[in-house]
Amino acid sequence: MKIRFGILALIIMWMGSGWAYALENSQPARDADILSVPLENASPLTEESSPGGTEPAEVAPLETGSTSEGHTVEETDLGEMLPLWSGIPFVGILLSIALCPLFVPHFWHHHFGKVSAFWAAVLAIPFLYAYGESAWEAILHIYLLDYFPFIILLWALYTVSGGILLKGRLLGTPLVNTGLLALGTFLASWMGTTGAAMLLIRPFLRANKHRKNRTFMVCFFIFLVANIGGSLTPLGDPPLFLGFLHSVPFFWTMNILPHMLVCVAVLLTVYFVMDWLMYQKEDSVPSSGEKEPLRLVGSYNFIFLLGVIGAVLMSGLADWGHVPVLGIPVEVQGLVRDALLIAMGALSLIFTPWSVRQDNEFTWHPIQEVAYLFAGIFMTMIPCLAILKAGEAGAAAFLTRAVQEPMHYFWITGSLSSFLDNAPTYLTFFSSALGKFYAGMPEPEAVALLIRDNPLYLEAISAGAVFFGAFTYIGNAPNFMVRSIAEEAGTPMPSFFGYMFLYSCTLLLPTFALVTWIFFW
């Protein structure tokens, strides 16, 4: 064990030191190169090429600042200067999440927060040294406007749903399990994938506590309830909500219903067959025993759950201006939303007896694990997002140039959404499609024309951003939460790569290939 840990530590230290040295020594060359970037190579998201003549606030998370050399740098400039290998810390933290639980499980269980902090420091220290104030603003931005709202929302949903207890005897047969997955898939579009996942995962696990093979059940739960089910309304998943804020009509996303139904039909059929085969092989299926009617305890938490959904919807519809927080403009409605979310969680804690949460096997460990790990993930993905948003002027220009047809948008948007934040990925290719057909046109008019004349492109971007969130544990907010809750409840879960290769590649890739052939070919 000590030898394996020592080898892993040496690899991590070598990667971190190499990244810091290379970034420091490549800075002057990038500063010189950026001054000569021609305007025609500008990203689709820059002011010159955006449909409305100005860049939407949500697409421009970094404010103007100065590097340590005194050059003024904007977000797209950072993306243009950063090389692809600046994503090494992001790859490092993903490898740590994937490999440490396998090779050093005891160390990981007690020190995963320190590993996350290490990779965050590997990015932050040389990043701040090389880019100074611009890097500081980028870091503040991603935490103030992305990470903290993300964790507050997860905490509120986790806390409120943890106060809703389904009592009674619910036996996890193949038919019952398929019905629960179908119910969660339907709810996800109306209460969000995170809300539906947090509400149903505990009853789903308790219903199958007697089953020997439960791992595949949770993986299908992540596929359907935590991701694909959220594709029908802007309330379902953050990318669609951003589309709604950028002039896409609220119910337009119902156009993705056929795509979703294909995925749901395929995956539910495969699930039922797998569950039925497993069920037939299991010896210790409990007898029906004394029947206990199903009933909900803590149902008043649904009021707080509606409060959470209302707060999120309000933050997207209201426009109350901005206030500076540590020099970063923060929307007032966003601060009000976060305050309401904290209030909903606090009210749930106050009014729900702790005995109900104990019966629900509620602990704080899953949300703590997500908070620690995603603090590092959000930090290390700053260069990746910046490069992506730089478009053809960045190191990932080959990706932007390769996207031409609807099926390209579906697969590129989806593939990047599997590992990066799917909201900015959606906005990047959404703006790219608008610039492709309606460059220079005001955004509301451009979106209306895109929907009228080229709806397939928007369908591909929307479906890709939502569907592919199921591909990895970090593809969408509830995935890691579901995994952590399942492990704490005694269900063994595959590693990061185990989940990808054993389940996602085997089940999702053929399903998405079928969707491509039917709708985007």
Contacts by residues 245-253 (CB-CB < 8 Å, ≥ 24 positions apart): 245/56, 245/58, 245/316, 246/56, 246/58, 246/427, 246/430, 246/443, 246/447, 247/443, 247/444, 247/447, 247/448, 248/447, 248/451, 248/458, 249/451, 252/451, 253/462
Decide: 120 and 19 in contact? Cβ < 8 Å: no
CA distance 12 to 21: 14
The pLDDT of residue 401? 80
* 3-class DSSP state of 65: strand
- Check residue 165 and give its pLDDT: 87
Q: Mapping DSSP to helix (H, G, I), strand (E, B) and coil, where does residue 294 land?
A: coil
Which residue type, as a one-letter code, is found at position 361? Answer: E
**HSE value, Cβ hemisphere, 13 Å, CA-based, for 219:** 27
End-to-end CA distance of the chain: 50
What pLDDT, on a 0 to 100 scale, did the predictor assign at position 286?
A: 60
Read off the tokens for 496.
Answer: 């990061």
Q: Which segments of the chain have a pLDDT < 70?
A: 1-76, 283-291
Question: Which pLDDT score is estimated for 201?
Answer: 92
How high is the pLDDT of residue 291?
A: 63
Q: pTM of the prediction? A: 0.76
| Residue 284 pLDDT | 57
